[in-house]
Amino acid sequence: MQGKREECDENKESGEDKEKLISEIPHILLEESDGAKYDSEYRCLYYINNVHLKLKENGKEFEPLIKAFDKYNVDELFEGIMYSS
């Protein structure tokens, strides 16, 4: 009987470790942004659709991934077109 109790305790501990591991998996989100430019006669000159990777979590353990996404998401062409007048 003692052997089964120890086995059950070991399974419980490994289950807790598994739950902890699952809760630390990052949730990657896609953030869509778009914009268009029109001429004086309201004809569309261009339409731009852009998707950025974002992370739902903000914990310290995810800072390297957040920084990597920020570096990956830089789209100078899109920003230059959209914010220049």
Q: Could you read off the pLDDT tens digit of each residue along the chain, which spans 85 residues?
A: 555 555 555 555 566 565 555 557 889 999 998 888 999 999 999 888 888 899 998 888 889 999 999 888 886 655 555 555 4
Helices (runs of H) and strands (runs of E) counted in the chain: 3, 2
- Nearest-angstrom CA–CA distance, 22 and 25: 6
- Full-model pTM: 0.50
- Nearest-angstrom CA–CA distance, 34 and 4: 60
Backbone angles phi, psi at 32, to 5 degrees: -95, 135
- Nearest-angstrom CA–CA distance, 48 and 78: 8
